[in-house]
Structure 1
Amino acid sequence: NLSEGDIPVEIWSLASLEYLNLAGNDFLSLPSGLSHLSKLDNLCVDGCRSLQSIPELPPNLGTLDAKYCTSLEKLSFPSNYKRLPVLYLPNCNSLAEIQGLENLNYVRIIHMESCSILANNLKDSFLKGQSELYKSSIYLPKKEIPDWFSYRRMGSSISFDMPLHMVDDQFLGMTLWVVYAAVEDRDEWFVPPSVAICDRTNRVDWAYKPTTTHIQVTREEHSFLIHIPKSYFGYPLKGGERMDAWINIEEPFEVKKCGIHLAFKPDITGGDQGQSSSVNTDGRDELMDIMHPKRGRDISVVETSCDLSKKDKFPKRLRMEPDQTKDLNTELDRLKK
């Protein structure tokens, strides 16, 4: 239950400090000396319900834990910030602005569940700004898929075509938008959605699992936005490939709808580089039948027949803990037996 005057001023002179836990205190604002902690990598202010602002984050901060800071209205990134931030901000209901966020090249993870004000203030340009090298995951309280997603469908599976005559070095990756909700409210947290993708044309399939923490069980509809960069595909794309995607999520969650956006470098315009209309896919179980990962990481790739006519059913849900991504292929192989 510390207030501003109770924090020792000497703490802001600890040039080598890497982790600072100020959770559960009653201060209204963090002192400006926080920005002097040049090596601070993790700042935790969870449950500081009176905290209203964080004037400026340290320049090398990697992770900010600010869950249940219900009075927090504003925080700010410094102009010289160069990291890929991880921001845990669920239930910061009053948060309206993150200064400098849209100036960042990329983000790694942002949890802003129940942060309706902040989510509504986010610009599409920020959500579209993705990388060909780095993955990102954003959780936010939105019920609709933006119009700039060319492929949209109700349910948890979708098919789409890569543009014809695609130039591979212009392709940045694909962005997936998932709207989900639980059938009931629970005081529990479950693993986030994972994605299975099949390239029917090249007979390659792979699984993508975000490296993030659990998501809260709530009936309120939320969205999960992930960007899968080109570097994670593991093989070149020539254009015209038919792709299937299926989203797997733990009970009691349900996927309401999903969408795909193919991201290209800004100088690509018109022609065959654009996206065609969405193609509905039935038989989500058949899509999971062709999963044959061979090496463990966030994505597993292997050549396969991509034969959706197989009748041996694959379980609809896979239990994969966030710290077990290295065992993804082992888990999938076990479930196939």
Structure 2
Amino acid sequence: PPCSKLSEFLVDVSGLKLLEKLFLSGCSDLSVLPENIGAMTSLKELLLDGTAIKNLPESINRLQNLEILSLRGCKIQELPLCIGTLKSLEKLYLDDTALKNLPSSIGDLKNLQDLHLVRCTSLSKIPDSINELKSLKKLFINGSAVEELPLKPSSLPSLYDFSAGDCKFLKQVPSSIGRLNSLLQLQLSSTPIEALPEEIGALHFIRELELRNCKFLKFLPKSIGDMDTLYSLNLEGSNIEELPEEFGKLEKLVELRMSNCKMLKRLPESFGDLKSLHRLYMKETLVSELPESFGNLSNLMVLEMLKKPLFRISESNVPGTSEEPRFVEVPNSFSKLLKLEELDACSWRISGKIPDDLEKLSCLMKLNLGNNYFHSLPSSLVKLSNLQELSLRDCRELKRLPPLPCKLEQLNLANCFSLESVSDLSELTILTDLNLTNCAKVVDIPGLEHLTALKRLYMTGCNSNYSLAVKKRLSKASLKMMRNLSLPGNRVPDWFSQGPVTFSAQPNRELRGVIIAVVVALNDETEDDDYQLPDVMEVQAQIHKLDHHKCTNTLHLSGVPRTNNDQLHICRYSAFHPLVTMLKDGYTIQVIKRNPPIKQGVELKMHGIHLVYEGDDDLEGRENTLPETQQTVSQKLANFFSSFEEEEGETISESESTVI
């Protein structure tokens, strides 16, 4: 602000009787207000945030029209007793101050609606007189040092939003909280409370209750079921061990968050009575079975119940090992969740086969079944006509992929080691992402040449001969939109520049893109390292002018292969990417290895760069009769892939060895 250097307020304010607003926020050197500030009798707003003011003048009691007083971040330690005479005051903001106590006269502010005491770390006590604030609507004491809540039954009749989260010394919630008859929102997250009083069930208008990260809270009272207006309950990160059977009475509950409740072992049988539940988040709990009533959640739209680890630690958790997994089956009633749009059941140890009636979940748009133990998917999968994202990552027993619904946009099959066949993908005309990393048994991807929307195809660690069949299918049409392509390969196109490239601007031809090709291999020394990054992070592109560095970009080399074979990655950057926009006339672009490395044992064997100019990739139709110099970039890439010979594939496959 223009007055940030203001250290003294020298204006004679006695002549400012008509001034209604005085904003001095940000004047960090201002430590004193005029003694006669009370002469500004028309003042309605006084904002002093971030000033060095330590005291308010006694004459402030004459500001009988003052509605807003803000002292956020000030060094003030106490308020004058006369603060209670400000009969028009509606909003009082004291966040981040050094306030040690509130005067009992605070209870005289009959029109006060908002009282903010957030992060007042020296304030340990709130006076009983706070119960006299008949107009108070919002009380925020988050992060303060308050030790107890001096609430009296039926006090604060207007209070609808009370927040005491992060109060590290607040160990108890008084039974009188149940008599805050207008309360809509209650926030007690990250407090050391050990229990909630039974009386809390008497909050008959409550809509939102937050109890995040309450590490000492192990149980909810049975009376929680009486909160029949509760819309949202957040228990994330708390140490709740179980939910009472009465929980099912929360018939208006729409959103329930229980992720990271790592002590929660089961859901009550009454859980299926939550008829209004739309969104259920329960990632990383100990719940291993869903009650049969679960299918009665007829309005459930989002179900997130992912567990960790997301990847299998050992090669095969076979029966008989000390870590023998406990397998689960999907409850029969699950197919009744007809409105379900998003399901994340990653690492739930689902075994056997997924039931045929999966097709009934016709609203599903996102489905994550990664790291499970089922060996087959039903043919009815194709009937999930709204499915956009399907992840089967680390489903190491899955052998066959049935026909897929045509609206699919993302398909992740990485580390499906047993997968032998993929159904024809020709109909997936809007598929943008296909991940087959380490699917070494698959021999072909039928229909790949028709995937005209494909932007990312990852096949590192695949069988070399299989990748040869796939390379033959990489048509001009399927390469046109491709941004990231990773697959086994030991060379880059010979029309790429092998070293650094210096850009020369061409008249009437704009630079439209940059393509970078690299051949990378992981050495044997990576074998014992549990490298769980989804990408190889060691190769970068750098732009510089002479010796002046301009830009560095880590190449998106997705898919960490389980072999030490050479892997070819092609990264294509469009006109709006920094590697294109930052490349000016006379600037040089080069490929380098990250230094220092994140991961040892990554070898950059070969690289090439190609600059794409306006008109280089715009020609439609067949180009068979054109000389290669006149062909589009996509056609030349298709030619490059079709030039790989069987012998190359065989040579590579002979040396295949697993390293991760």
Which category describes the TM-score, using the shorter chain as reference length? 0.5 to 0.7
| 1:113-132 superposed matches below 5 A | 113-121=461-469, 122-123=471-472, 125=475, 129-131=479-481
- How far apart are residue 251 of structure 1 and its match? 0.8
- Pair 1:186–1:223, CA change in 2 (3 A): same
- How far apart are residue 117 of structure 1 and its match? 2.9
Is 2:360 the partner of 1:9? Answer: no
1:229-282: CA deviations, max 9, x gaps? 2211263756564333313363111111211222343358969x99xxxxxxxx
In the other structure, the counterpart of 1:298 is none
**Aligned-partner residue type, residue 151 of structure 1:** S
Which of 432, 437, 444 is matched with 1:96 structurally? 444
- Pair 1:93–1:6, CA change in 2 (3 A): closer
- Pair 1:13–1:81, CA change in 2 (3 A): farther
Which of 611, 623, 630 is matched with 1:262 structurally? 611
Maintained 8 Å contact 1:90/1:113: yes
In the other structure, the counterpart of 2:592 is 246
TM-score (normalised: structure 2): 0.35
SS for the counterpart of 1:11 is: helix
Distance 2:507 2:383 in 1: 45
Which of 472, 486, 489 is matched with 1:142 structurally? 489
TM-score (normalised: structure 1): 0.62
SS for the counterpart of 1:215 is: coil
Distance 1:177 1:127 in 2: 23
In the other structure, the counterpart of 2:574 is 229
- Pair 1:16–1:222, CA change in 2 (3 A): same
Distance 1:184 1:247 in 2: 18
Maintained 8 Å contact 2:411/2:434: yes
1:20-79: CA deviations, max 9, x gaps? 41732223x641433434134123163344523432354134232342343423333353
Q: CA RMSD in A?
A: 3.9
Maintained 8 Å contact 1:59/1:78: no
- Pair 1:237–1:254, CA change in 2 (3 A): closer
In the other structure, the counterpart of 2:42 is none
Higher strand share: 1
SS for the counterpart of 2:517 is: strand
- How far apart are residue 170 of structure 1 and its match? 5.6
Distance 1:198 1:225 in 2: 18
SS for the counterpart of 1:151 is: coil
SS for the counterpart of 2:443 is: coil
Q: Identity across aligned pairs (percent)? A: 13
1:268-311: CA deviations, max 9, x gaps? 8969x99xxxxxxxxxxxxxxxxxxxxxxxxxxxxxxxxxxxxx
| 1:1-337 superposed matches below 5 A | 6-17=353-364, 18-21=366-369, 23-27=372-376, 30-44=378-392, 46-49=394-397, 51-79=399-427, 81-121=429-469, 122-123=471-472, 125=475, 129-131=479-481, 136-148=483-495, 150-152=496-498, 158-162=499-503, 165=506, 167-169=508-510, 171-184=512-525, 186-187=527-528, 188-189=530-531, 190=533, 191-192=535-536, 193-200=538-545, 205-210=550-555, 215-216=560-561, 218-233=563-578, 235=581, 241-248=587-594, 250-264=599-613, 265-267=616-618
**Aligned-partner residue type, residue 242 of structure 1:** T
1:295-336: CA deviations, max 9, x gaps? xxxxxxxxxxxxxxxxxxxxxxxxxxxxxxxxxxxxxxxxxx
Maintained 8 Å contact 1:143/1:221: yes
Maintained 8 Å contact 2:521/2:605: yes
- How far apart are residue 19 of structure 1 and its match? 1.3
**Aligned-partner residue type, residue 219 of structure 1:** N
**Aligned-partner residue type, residue 180 of structure 1:** A
User: Which has the higher Rg, Structure 1 or Structure 2?
Assistant: 2
Maintained 8 Å contact 1:167/1:238: no
- Pair 1:6–1:87, CA change in 2 (3 A): closer
RCO higher in 1 or 2 (8 Å CA, sep ≥ 6)? 1
Maintained 8 Å contact 1:202/1:241: no
Maintained 8 Å contact 1:144/1:179: no
**Aligned-partner residue type, residue 262 of structure 1:** L
Maintained 8 Å contact 1:196/1:246: yes
Distance 2:378 2:396 in 1: 11
Matched length: 263
- Pair 1:48–1:263, CA change in 2 (3 A): same
- How far apart are residue 14 of structure 1 and its match? 0.8
**Aligned-partner residue type, residue 540 of structure 2:** V
- How far apart are residue 7 of structure 1 and its match? 3.2
Maintained 8 Å contact 1:195/1:247: yes
Distance 2:461 2:476 in 1: 17
- Pair 1:117–1:75, CA change in 2 (3 A): farther
- Gap regions ≥5 residues in structure 2: 1-326, 330-349, 620-627, 634-660
